[in-house]
A and B are shown apart, each in its own frame.
Chain A
Amino acid sequence: GENVEQHPSTLSVQEGDSAVIKCTYSDSASNYFPWYKQELGKRPQLIIDIRSNVGEKKDQRIAVTLNKTAKHFSLHITETQPEDSAVYFCAASASGTYKYIFGTGTRLKVLA
């Protein structure tokens, strides 16, 4: 069935360094890929998304890249700050469906 793999499960970086989180999806019909940030006890918040007709999208310190051939997409956070510490979830969905398939999450710790 449909699946999204996400790596790593935990990631610790020094403040100011970059962080990269990678996801792989199985459904070739997937064409929308949102990323959510979830702080402890709070709702998942959309931070960036990308559609399959675009290879890269950037919003300030956050960027997402998509490789449709390899079915990979990645989240890049530059100049990390302590407030970036959270769990990050990738997701994939297809235009013929209503659901998101989420990855297993990455716990990012930014060390001051």
Chain B
Amino acid sequence: EPEVTQTPSHQVTQMGQEVILRCVPISNHLYFYWYRQILGQKVEFLVSFYNNEISEKSEIFDDQFSVERPDGSNFTLKIRSTKLEDSAMYFCASSEWRGGTDTQYFGPGTRLTVL
């Protein structure tokens, strides 16, 4: 069964550095998402992406964040200048149809630690 994959599994960075988290969505899916989960808390929506543009974003997704689909398979989340509070598990997800009414399949996550 196809799965969403993410790299790296764990990223450690210094505060103020840029990080790029990578995801490979399921191949026939058209909608892509990033969520984050701070340790012990709920999963929070960051952004959705469709047809090479952001379709929806949350208040968390400020100017420090950006997303890109650089080629036909990868989907990336960039954090320009990391803060301590960006430490969290970041999940990529994808769905075949619009995510509000379709199942979103999650990747295994990237644990980001900002020191």
In the complex, are the beta carbons of B106 and A96 less than 8 A apart? no
| Contact yes or no, B99 A46, CB < 8 A | no
Question: A residues within 8 A CB of B48?
Answer: 98-99
B18 CB contacts on chain A under 8 angstroms: none
Q: How large is the interface on B (under 10, 10 to 19, 20 to 34, 35 or more residues)?
A: 20 to 34
Interface size on A, residues (CB 8 A): 26
Q: Say yes or no for B55: interface residue by CB 8 A criterion.
A: yes
Closest to A49 in B: B103
* Residue numbers in B under 8 Å from A51 (CB-CB): 101
B55 contacts A98, C-beta separation under 8 Å: yes
A24 interface contact, C-beta 8 A: no
A residues less than 8 Å from B58 (CB atoms): 99
On whether the beta carbons of B45 and A100 are closer than 8 Å, the reply is yes
Contacts of B56 in A (CB 8 A): 97-99
| Among listed B36-44, B64-72, B74-82, interface-contacting one | B36-44
Contact between A100 and B99 (Cβ–Cβ < 8 Å)?
Answer: yes
* Residues of A in contact with B (beta carbons under 8 Å apart): 31-32, 34, 36, 42-46, 49, 51, 89, 91, 93-105
A-B contact pairs, 14 of them (CB 8 A): A31-B101, A32-B100, A36-B106, A43-B91, A43-B109, A89-B43, A91-B43, A98-B50, A98-B55, A99-B58, A100-B35, A102-B44, A103-B42, A105-B42
